[in-house]
Chains A and B, each alone.
Chain A
Amino acid sequence: MSNLENFRAEVSEWLKENCPPSMRTPMVEDEVVWGGRNAVYKNPESKIWLDKMGEKGWTAPALPKEYGGGGLNSDEIKILNSELFKIGARPALNSFGIWMLAPVIIEYGNEAQKMEHIPKILKGEIRWCQGYSEPGSGSDLASLSTKAEDMGDHYLVNGQKVWTSYADQADWIFALVRTGPKEPKHSGISFLLIDMADPGVTTKPITLISGKSPFCETFFDNVKVPKENLIGEENQGWTIAKKLLQHERNFISNFGLAAGGGGDGSKTKGVVGLAKTYLGEENGKIADLDFRSRVTEHKMKEHSFGLTLQRAGDEGGKASAASSIFKYYGTEHNKNRYELMIEAMGNKGFIWDGDEAESKEKAITRAWLRTKANSIEGGTSEVQLNVIAKRVLDLPA
């Protein structure tokens, strides 16, 4: 047996012993695990599964073992994922810390910061949120004005962040702050880690067009932040911020792929299943031929997009500009998918509440509205197109 086959056997054996039975069933919305100091585990097996995976370092299989990661190479990660997929395992942990922050601390943080923060992220002990946008700084993020004044042994932070996802449930926030008010706008920004439990931090939820949302406003009122919480050098936060955005775009772009489980065949899963259910079938085909044609085109684009994500991985994942392509395409594609789903459902697609529609149907309605933010958050589609034009195609400013 080759090393990889051995590894597959080990993984399979370990999963057999350690993945609790209920963690092999489709995810239920209120059992999604985000971890953190205040996490409530409605299903106790979620916590067991998180701890087991956290111990193995498999919540972040690519990260180094010394910081609590799995230390696996890309072939081993593929095997781990395929074995998890095989048994229908739920994700042990959803985490902005893993998706965005940990890779950045690995790259820019000092040894003490790595040892302090990364293991807690990977074990789900500390939940993070992102403090980037401000009311006056959306697409023009570098114009941000939340200020951090140098007070000798600490920074004094004052200002407001917006679109901070799950800020009301997060333990810590990684924030962009202005430390160089006299510098040019890109050169006066620092990347700061702030404990949300510190005095002066408050949050307020934002309601979206979909009816609810994880988004908040976060306010900083004379918050004292120790200097050891600065990642990288003072006033070099913009470089780190951009790197983190690439990680964010990479995970948002996965929205472009249809969610796993159920497949397109089942009744309310996927746009093809919905079309056949609500528009009917003739000889096994979606009865409305115009709609069938549009769905097919959508699915073909999705197929090509999936192959492109795969190819980027096979080529060794040259990130940077590729992340803009994936973010742009993935989010626009996801919006289109939900438009098709809503259209397939007809008037069933607009039921907001009550018992006249199944909860799955109502969830699609809400999700349709939520997708409208996909091409805005993490850099708008227009910003991504600018990045592609300038950095990939080298078009003049």
Chain B
Amino acid sequence: MKLVLNEELQFLKDTASNFAKDKAPVSHLRKLRDEDHPNSWDEGLWNEMIELGWTSILIPEKYGGSEFGLAGISVVLQELGKTLVPSPLFATGVLGVTTINQMGSESQKEELLGKILEGKITTALAIDEGSHHEPANTELTAEKNNDGWVLNGEKVFVIDGSSADLLIVIARTSGNKGDIQGLSAFIVDPSSKGINRRKVPTADSRNYANISFEGVTISVDKILGEVDGASDQIHKVLDFGRIAMSAEMLGNTEEAFAITLNYLKERKQFGVLIGSFQALQHRAAKMFCEIELTKSAVIAAMHAADENSNELERLSSLAKFQAGTTLHTVSNESIQMHGGIGVTDEYDIGFYLKRARVAEQIFGSSTYHKSRYADISGY
């Protein structure tokens, strides 16, 4: 496994970089926020991403995709992360595709992956139920009766939950809270009777929903794969999501750092550029080292995913931890080094901080992944 990008990946990355700069600078996010856009993402921009083939990146060739793998979609998300572009690409192109591809039956894959590829549907993975990520704590139940499956419970902080055309719901079909076994995945039409979706306004101005399920009845064929079948697969799906999110966070980090470095090179106080102060130089140099470490962890993790490495879980947690801790520091320092202008809404740097904290907790905080890494490593 070489920790570099091949030409194909570099091309995808360059395309995404130009796209983000030309079509969706931070002003794009700002506009969506200011107009309180109902979806928090722009349909026209999303259609352009579909045109570019980004929904097909993770889809195997067998189902018509381009099979550029997790590395492919990760480098795209890294570039989109640099200008904080909101879109359904993560929830649909990574989570939707991976869940369906990992868990679905042959006919489900053909139907659903085809629709995602063509841009006909967006998806949302409904998994978390509490204030902290822990799949084993799933309590939402799915019980079988004569009409099919009946879902009861509550999901929170569902990414793209208020806009998705299709919900993939992780539910408990056996066992108890705290047990990773006994989980199944279901394909649910969000307009089904008994579903109440509430969009949650968040600091990062993206789309999240809390969703209640009250006696939601779905037909028997809406289970994704086997009964209790999600348990073995859910962490693999989440690891793909964690790595892709780490790539987005790396992009956020790189750009926040670049903006800050530029500021250090133009802002004068006491008659000199503030970037000449050693106190700031050393903090910048230390951040640079952490960013280099983060790049390495993210590249190693995304290649591990595509090579089906048995190090996937450990590298996924490493990447999410490294991206989380580095972004945490860089987002805070970016504000501090900007001084007063850094805390104004008019200036963009605050958007990076707001996205940073939300991304840090998605699918497990740095603490969660430190603990998971220790368990896997036998510490």
Known contacts: A297-B370, A299-B379. The answer to whether A395 contacts B281 by CB under 8 A is yes
Q: Which 10 A-B pairs rank lowest in CB-CB distance, beginning with the nearest?
A: A389-B281, A307-B296, A311-B3, A388-B285, A304-B293, A296-B374, A308-B296, A385-B285, A395-B275, A396-B276
Known contacts: A314-B2, A396-B265, A397-B276. The answer to whether A301 contacts B282 by CB under 8 A is no
Which residues of A in the span 356-385 have a Cβ within 8 Å of any Cβ on B?
382, 384-385
- Which residues of A lie under 8 Å from residue B370 when comparing CB positions? 293, 296-297, 300
Dominant secondary structure of chain A at its interface with chain B? helix
The interface size bin for chain A is 35 or more
A325 within 8 Å of B (CB atoms): yes
Known contacts: A300-B373, A307-B296, A311-B299. The answer to whether A388 contacts B289 by CB under 8 A is yes
| CB-nearest residue of chain A to B377 | A299
- Which residues of B lie under 8 Å from residue A305 when comparing CB positions? 293
Stretch of A37-45, A55-63, A65-73, A284-292 that contacts chain B:
A284-292
> B293 touching A301 by the CB < 8 A rule?
yes
30 residue pairs from A and B, CB less than 8 Å apart? A285-B374, A285-B375, A296-B371, A296-B377, A299-B373, A300-B321, A303-B297, A303-B318, A304-B297, A305-B293, A307-B297, A307-B299, A310-B296, A315-B4, A325-B288, A325-B292, A328-B285, A385-B281, A385-B285, A386-B278, A386-B282, A389-B281, A389-B282, A393-B284, A394-B265, A395-B264, A395-B281, A396-B265, A396-B273, A396-B276
| CB-nearest residue of chain B to A271 | B379
> A311 touching B4 by the CB < 8 A rule?
yes
Known contacts: A386-B278, A389-B282. The answer to whether A311 contacts B295 by CB under 8 A is yes
- Which residues of A lie under 8 Å from residue B272 when comparing CB positions? 396
Dominant secondary structure of chain B at its interface with chain A? helix
Known contacts: A388-B289, A389-B281, A396-B275. The answer to whether A296 contacts B373 by CB under 8 A is yes
Which residues of B in the span 84-110 have a Cβ within 8 Å of any Cβ on A?
none
Q: How far is the CA of A392 from the CA of B292 in the complex (A)?
A: 12
- Which residues of A lie under 8 Å from residue B318 when comparing CB positions? 300, 303-304
Which residues of A in the span 314-350 have a Cβ within 8 Å of any Cβ on B?
314-315, 325, 328-329
Known contacts: A329-B289, A396-B276. The answer to whether A300 contacts B3 by CB under 8 A is no
Known: A265-B378, A395-B284. 10 other contacts (CB 8 A): A285-B374, A285-B379, A299-B373, A299-B379, A304-B293, A329-B293, A385-B285, A386-B282, A389-B278, A396-B273
Known contacts: A303-B297, A314-B3, A393-B261. The answer to whether A292 contacts B379 by CB under 8 A is yes
- Which residues of A lie under 8 Å from residue B73 when comparing CB positions? none
Count residues of B near A (Cβ-Cβ below 8 Å): 38
- Which residues of B lie under 8 Å from residue A265 when comparing CB positions? 378
Q: How far is the CA of A215 from the CA of B26 in the complex (A)?
A: 56
A272 within 8 Å of B (CB atoms): yes
Which residues of B in the span 313-368 have a Cβ within 8 Å of any Cβ on A?
318, 321-322
Binding site for A on B (CB under 8 A): 2-4, 261, 264-265, 272-273, 275-276, 278, 280-282, 284-286, 288-289, 292-297, 299-300, 318, 321-322, 370-371, 373-375, 377-379
Known contacts: A314-B2, A396-B275. The answer to whether A272 contacts B379 by CB under 8 A is yes
> B379 touching A295 by the CB < 8 A rule?
yes
| CB-nearest residue of chain A to B273 | A396
> A385 touching B292 by the CB < 8 A rule?
no
Known contacts: A297-B370, A307-B300. The answer to whether A395 contacts B265 by CB under 8 A is yes
- Which residues of B lie under 8 Å from residue A303 when comparing CB positions? 297, 318
| CB-nearest residue of chain B to A302 | B293
Q: How far is the CA of A319 from the CA of B318 in the complex (A)?
A: 26
Q: How far is the CA of A145 from the CA of B320 in the complex (A)?
A: 51
Q: Which of B285, B295, B321, B374 contacts A393 (CB 8 A)?
A: B285
| CB-nearest residue of chain A to B264 | A395
| CB-nearest residue of chain B to A315 | B4
